[in-house]
Structure 1
Amino acid sequence: MLATTTFAVSNSNPPNPAHKNSSPHPPFSSNSRQAHIVSLNRRGLLASLSIALTPFLASPQIENPTHYADFISLPVSEARGLFQMPPVRLTNRYFLVRAGESEYESLGIINTNPVAKTSVDNGLSEKGKKQTVRAALDLKSMGACEGNCWIWPSITQRAYQAAEIIAAVNGVNRSHIVPEYSFLDARGLGAYEGKKLDSISEVYASDSLSPNIKPPPIDDGTPNESVQDVFVRVTQLMSILETQYSEDTVVIVSPDSDNLSVLQAGLVGLELRRQVFCEDAYLAYRSRFQARRSQVHRC
């Protein structure tokens, strides 16, 4: 069973390399958009998640190619390569995928230490592999990789395994899997490392107060990252992708949902604490996870 939610739309058509003349998506009113935004919950902590992001504004059109003055005189904040949140426009189409359940998650244990991120013990559980296959099929049904796409997974074992499954299901050459080494790491939860997953509700309670509150530190090398720290990382990632590609499709594969929820809020320009960290979100997502583990959120 699939849950479809629109959280950001534009009046422009998303660039689709495979279908240059595809029919435009009907624009939504601001009231409709706000209703959808409010309905979004926190993080699907264990759910396999796919999110499609379309450009906010069309790329600038130069009617007379011999006159570049207007294009060059764009404000500095709109210049390509100087990516800011929220973006003036996105030049690529993005699908955000949360890797399926990991071995540690199947045991109910928090594992965010980057030292172990490439360990086979940090890979997908059998249930997680099935979740990822469902997400890959969802991407295929949406035509995400028709005509090709780039898959950017975290180098974390479970995220890279998910990327390989997505590539196999969608007929993408493995040369188009580009491992990302740091910006997509799971959020470091400091002293909560090794604790039960249920205890993460305490972190979320702090997040609801301020995006700058860090989890308590620990001396085993696990970072203790605030929401703002994650925001900086995902902004840097988007800056690289928007500079490196143009009118391409990029599938971002994250080992956890914190990266994705923070990225969503940043892209639509919402205040992190208010939008991403609602009061009862942990329980809501836990309930949704028990009911169904494959979700698709489209825009």
Structure 2
Amino acid sequence: MWTPRTAQAALVQFPASSLHNKYFLVRAGEGESEAENYVLTNPVAKTSMSSGLSQRGKAQVVRETAPALRAMGACAADCWLWPSITQRSYQTAEILGALLGVGRSRIVPEYSFLDPRGLGALEGLTWESARLQVNTGDQLSPEWRPPRGTDGTPNESISDVLVRMLLCAAQVLSVMETQYSGANVIVVSPDSDNLSVLQAALLGLDLRRHGDLAMRPGEVRAVELAAEAPAYYSGKVTCARPPNCL
């Protein structure tokens, strides 16, 4: 009698202990709004040219991001690009695809879970001013939110971002883990907070210190699964189950 083969499911739990594929996190190159030094996080604008790559951002992808991925062997074999549809992320993925030989059929757009963190009433401020307020608030609690605005821009806490990134992980990690083995997946985010919060969750670190894992535009980082924080995380970890340590 024929019996169906047992499904080899590999749902990802956090902190994760092992993965069957390699994952790389990329912050998109510098965007136009970042070059002009104003906060633009409203999802309505994510496909506008204001959310696209600046000239410096394009150069970062060509001169920094692509060489870093090559050096890590990210596209030496089976390779997928998983960008946000925010302009600068998707443009980053298109440039990487052209440089690394990844066809369009392997560029998988993500439509909402990888949106930049919504900063509410801080929209339109300079990045220095907004970041100072966000860093201060984030260190108080994972539930702290920027002030609510009036234009519909979300005002997201660390916990809100974590929920989105866990949904993204379920979509990216768990799908890839059940269908592929030995593949390389490059996730391209328009901002740093998405990636630093995800890394903190993967490592089981205190989410209030996710800023210590911040990534600059165009930076590449391999996903790490470890019992201890990586060298670039400066805080002492005392919370075994973030964000419960308040």
User: How far has the Cα of 1:295 moved from its partner?
Assistant: 4.5
User: How far has the Cα of 1:244 moved from its partner?
Assistant: 1.8
1:107 and 1:231 mapped to 2: Cα distance?
28
1:240 and 1:295 mapped to 2: Cα distance?
23
Q: Write out aligned runs for 1:157-236 (5 A).
A: 157-199=87-129, 200-236=131-167
Unaligned runs of 5+ in 1: 1-65, 73-78
Q: How many residues align?
A: 214
Contact 1:137–1:169 (8 Å) recurs in 2: no
Matched residue, 1:16: none
2:194 corresponds to 1:259: yes
Q: Partner of 2:90: helix, strand, or coil?
A: helix
Q: Give the AA of the match of 2:210.
A: V
Matched residue, 2:243: none
User: How far has the Cα of 1:242 moved from its partner?
Assistant: 2.6
RMSD, matched Cα: 2.3
Q: Write out aligned runs for 1:50-129 (5 A).
A: 80-81=10-11, 83-129=12-58
Q: Give the AA of the match of 1:234.
A: M
Q: Give the AA of the match of 1:228.
A: S
User: How far has the Cα of 1:277 moved from its partner?
Assistant: 3.6
Contact 1:91–1:242 (8 Å) recurs in 2: no
Change over 3 Å in CA distance of 1:117–1:164 after alignment to 2: same
Contact 1:136–1:170 (8 Å) recurs in 2: yes
Question: What TM-score comes out, normalization by structure 1 length?
Answer: 0.67
User: How far has the Cα of 1:255 moved from its partner?
Assistant: 0.2
Contact 1:167–1:174 (8 Å) recurs in 2: yes
User: How far has the Cα of 1:148 moved from its partner?
Assistant: 2.6
Q: Percent identity?
A: 52
2:10 and 2:78 mapped to 1: Cα distance?
23
* Deviations, residues 146-202 of structure 1 (Å, cap 9, x unaligned): 123110000000000000011111011111000000110000000000111111211
Unaligned runs of 5+ in 2: 225-246
Change over 3 Å in CA distance of 1:178–1:267 after alignment to 2: same
Larger Rg: 1
Q: Give the AA of the match of 2:43.
A: P
Contact 1:139–1:145 (8 Å) recurs in 2: yes
Q: Write out aligned runs for 1:137-148 (5 A).
A: 137-148=67-78
Q: Give the AA of the match of 1:115.
A: V
Question: What TM-score comes out, normalization by structure 2 length?
Answer: 0.80
Matched residue, 2:239: none
Change over 3 Å in CA distance of 1:227–1:295 after alignment to 2: same
* Deviations, residues 244-264 of structure 1 (Å, cap 9, x unaligned): 223221100000000110111
1:262 and 1:297 mapped to 2: Cα distance?
14
Q: Partner of 2:24: helix, strand, or coil?
A: strand
User: How far has the Cα of 1:297 moved from its partner?
Assistant: 4.0
1:149 and 1:102 mapped to 2: Cα distance?
25
Change over 3 Å in CA distance of 1:297–1:88 after alignment to 2: closer
Deviates more, 1:87-96 or 1:205-214: 87-96
Q: 232, 238, 249: which one pairs with 2:184?
A: 249
Change over 3 Å in CA distance of 1:236–1:249 after alignment to 2: same
Q: Partner of 1:253: helix, strand, or coil?
A: strand
Q: Give the AA of the match of 1:103.
A: E
